[in-house]
Each structure stands twice: as structure tokens, then as C-alpha cells.
Amino acid sequence: MMFGMTYLLALIGVFLAGFLALLPPEYQVMIPMIFRVAFFGVGAMIAFFGVFMTHMRAKKTGAEHLIEPGRPGTILWFYVHKDGTVKITPAMREVESALFSPELDAVVHEMKSYRLFDHSVRFVPEGIGHAVDLDMCLYVSLLKNKFGFQTLREAREKGFGKKRQKNVLPQEGIVLGGGGVSEN
């Protein structure tokens, strides 16, 4: 339906833009220049709007990545959300067996790939090995490799010099998280 509507708009626009050229030359001279320019301008705008609708729809769904030629370092992810929607996004291989998508800020280990024309394609379901905050993962990796900390909590205790404890509401016994600092 969408492609039919955009093709129809483009066809109507081209017809309007070239309509006055179909008239015999002796009638074209009788038509004022303002009408000729107006017909051409309106027809060109309608044709442009039809192509623009197709482009914006492809951009919204990520399908414009399928139109571009495939590149050797780029892998297309068909990222399948839990509600069933699919987003097409490019990813790149940064390290040996992991792919990184800057648009989703996520890393996924290499999986089975498929070929779609000249594109390498991966189907990635939501929640498969993604890092919530890649900057924090790099920070923890740096702390582990450089200073030998095993957990982020251990690095915080060493850096702050105080042992952190979880907040507990006395009335209901609900644990809130690791925000409190003990005075001991």
C-alpha cells in the first residue's frame, strides 16, 4: 500500500510537471509563463514528496541500510524486540568474536550469520548478551586488569575507604540498594 501510494504520487507529479509540454507549440505560446512554471513546480513537488515518503519510511524502519551496498566490515542486525517489532541497524566487528552496534550501544558475541544479497545479516533477539552500559563495562575491565579488583564493589570499598551497606527500612524490612555508608 505504501509503495503504491508513493509511486502514484510520483507518477502524478511527473505528469503535472510535463503536462504543458504535451500541448502543441502554438498553444504553449498562449499560456502565460507563470502557469507553466506553476504546473512544473507543483508537479515536481508532488513527485518529490512521493519519493520523500518512501525514504522516510525506510529510514524509520532501518530498511535504508538494505538499500545501501554492503561493506565488508559492516554487519546488519535484525534486532527483534520482545514485542515483535524489528529494527534493522548496522553493527561492526570491533574485537575478534564480538559485534558492536553504536546505535543500540550493545555488544553481542558472534552468532550464526546469513547472507542477504551482498549484506552479512544477524538476527539478534532482545536481551541476548547485551551490556547495559558499555562505558561501565570498560571501566570494570580496566579496574580488573590494571589494579586486580574482582568486583566493582571491591574497588569502591578500596577507593572510599569505608564499607558500604544496603539501606533497610526499619518498619517493613525492605532492602533499597547499595546507597548507604556505614559509620563503623
46-102 pLDDT, tens digit per residue, is 888 888 888 888 888 777 787 777 777 778 888 887 888 888 888 777 666 677 776
Q: Is the pLDDT of residue 180 over 50?
A: no
The predicted-structure confidence for 144-176, as pLDDT tens digits, reads as follows 888 888 777 787 777 766 655 555 545 554 444
* Residue of higher predicted confidence among 16 and 103: 16
Whether this model's pTM surpasses 0.75: no
**Residue 38 to residues 19, 28, 41, 133, 137, Cα–Cα distance (Å):** 11, 14, 5, 54, 59
* Whole-number pLDDT of residue 173: 47
Mean pLDDT, residues 31-56: 87
* Residue of higher predicted confidence among 73 and 18: 18
Secondary structure letter of residue 174 according to DSSP = -
Secondary structure letter of residue 69 according to DSSP = P
* Whole-number pLDDT of residue 184: 40
